[in-house]
Amino acid sequence: MKVVSTAVEIQALARGYRDTGLTIGLVPTMGWFHQGHLALMKEAGNRADKVIVSLFVNPIQFGPDEDLDNYPHDLERDCKLAEEVGVDLLYAPNKEFMYPDGFSTTVHIAGLTSGLCGGDRPGHFDGVTTVVSKLFNQTLPHVAVFGEKDFQQLAVIRQLVRDLDFPIEIIGHPIVREKSGLAMSSRNSYLKKDEMNAALSLSKAIACAKRAAGEKQDISVQEIRKIVTDVILAHPECGIDYIEVVDKTTLQNCEVVNSDSMLVLAVKINKRIRLLDNSIIQGN
């Protein structure tokens, strides 16, 4: 596996792949790889001839009180893991290269970014869409794979590709979970042992909501939200950022629960660790 750090290098290598008829799969990441990341890399390998993984902790998608300075990183560890699953190129640019002096462009998507994480984290998705646009132009992928845990992000990226005519297929990969049910996340490394039960309340609340929806076909959105709220707030460490039932495509709030309804939630553990989870309510 080759590791590169500049757009000139990565574009030259990507053009070389394309010129010889090879397809490219991209997996954008912020590093500290876990099995969820590795599953995305394997999926990219199933869909393309060459796999590029970007590793960049993007400062412009973090708010002033978020965990940018403490975000876990270990480039040597991540390189080893990526190479083990067959990644061809790891692209690890630095902040000064990605956002040099005078950088003044922002990519903004209206509508989809106004609620959920966008409502709680002003400017977050502008940072996401800006860096992803740069990564698309730098790595020239045919396919890009994103995890469904960040469900709103996935919807936003799909809108970005449609609106700006990027010739890229966006693939959403199902959430990869620990044996306990906890959705895998780099931020799980922040959890202390005595916070684990609180963290597990997200997946347990989703399971309770799905079970209730299976038992009562005309269950209301309000009933779903109450079930989830009760399970999570049974743990005093938990603070709810949001619990919503939205349409899986438009992200608009649902008035009734149906086969397109997605339960999405964001919870903070002891005001330190922000965890996400989601699931279709009716069905698998």
Pairing mode, if any, of strands 2-4 and 89-91?
Answer: parallel
Domain ranges in the chain with CATH number 3.40.50.620: 2-173
What pLDDT is stored for residue 70 in this prediction? 87
Protein fold of 186-277: Pantoate--beta-alanine Ligase; Chain: A,domain 2 (3.30.1300)
Active-site pick, 37, 124, 142, 173: 37
Give the pLDDT of the chain (284 residues) as one tens digit per residue: 999 999 999 999 999 999 999 999 999 999 999 999 999 999 999 999 999 999 999 999 999 889 898 899 999 999 999 999 999 999 999 999 999 999 999 999 999 999 999 988 999 999 999 999 999 999 999 999 999 999 999 999 999 999 999 999 999 999 999 999 999 999 999 999 999 999 999 999 999 999 999 999 899 999 999 999 999 999 999 999 999 999 999 999 999 999 999 999 999 999 999 999 999 998 76
The token pair at 23 is 């397809």
Q: Which amino acid is at 65?
A: D
Contacts of 16 by beta carbon, 8 Å cutoff, 6+ apart: none
- The Cα-based distances of 58 to 125, 130, 217, 236 in angstroms read 11, 10, 43, 32
Q: How far apart are CA 241 and CA 264, in angstroms?
A: 11
Q: How far apart are CA 8 and CA 6, in angstroms?
A: 5
Contacts of 134 by beta carbon, 8 Å cutoff, 6+ apart: 98
Q: Which amino acid is at 18?
A: R
Q: Is 124 a catalytic residue?
A: no
What pLDDT is stored for residue 91 in this prediction? 98
Q: Which CATH superfamily is domain 2-173 in?
A: HUPs (3.40.50.620)
pTM of the model: 0.95
What pLDDT is stored for residue 283 in this prediction? 74
The string of pLDDT tens digits covering residues 111-124 is 999 999 998 899 99
Domain ranges in the chain with CATH number 3.30.1300.10: 186-277
Tell me the angle at which helices 75-84 and 35-47 cross, rounded to the nearest 10 degrees.
40
Least Cα distance to 265 among 275, 255, 254, 250 occurs for 275
Helices then strands, each counted (H, E), the chain:
9, 9
Q: Is 272 exposed, middle or buried (0-12, 13-18, 19+ CB in 10 A)?
A: middle
The token pair at 231 is 């399970």
What pLDDT is stored for residue 64 in this prediction? 87
> What does the chain come to in residues?
284
What pLDDT is stored for residue 90 in this prediction? 98
Contact 250, 158 (CB under 8 A): no
